[in-house]
Amino acid sequence: MQKLFAEWPVSIPRKGIVITAHGETIQFVEFMITGELLLLERQTPDVSGARRVILDFDNIATTKILDAIEMSRFTAFGFRGPAGIMS
């Protein structure tokens, strides 16, 4: 996941959902990285009042992107179509 966030393309909005290895869902509208850590910014505070979350990349199980984005734009992340065919 570190590579995904470190090389996030400008053409993809920097917002989505991270699900941690412990099952916590964190919706974010912006992020920053440093070393092994990811800083997520929430649009609204969580139940404890926190708007920002810092977590280790090893603690990320899944990342979801909320915007309806054409699959071809994900080639900027390095994804390829079947058998290496670019879409």
* pLDDT score recorded for residue 11: 85
Residue 73 lies in a domain: no
Residue 74, pLDDT > 90, answer: no
What's the domain count of the chain?
Answer: 1
The band of 73, judged by pLDDT with boundaries at 50, 70 and 90, is confident
CB 26 within 8 A of CB 63: no
pLDDT tens digits for 26-64?
A: 999 999 999 999 999 999 999 999 999 999 999 999 999
Residue 38 lies in a domain: yes
CA distance to 13, 18, 35, 60, 63, per residue, from 25 (Å): 19, 6, 22, 10, 10
Structural domain of residue 44, as residue ranges?
2-64
CA distance to 10, 56, 85, per residue, from 21 (Å): 27, 11, 32
β-partners of residue 54 are: 39
The domain that holds 13 is classified in CATH as: 2.30.30
39 backbone dihedrals φ, ψ, rounded to 5° = -105, 120
Residue 50 lies in a domain: yes
* pLDDT score recorded for residue 20: 96
* CA nearest to 87, candidates 71, 66, 76: 71
Residue 84, pLDDT > 60, answer: no
For the entire predicted model, the pTM comes to 0.83
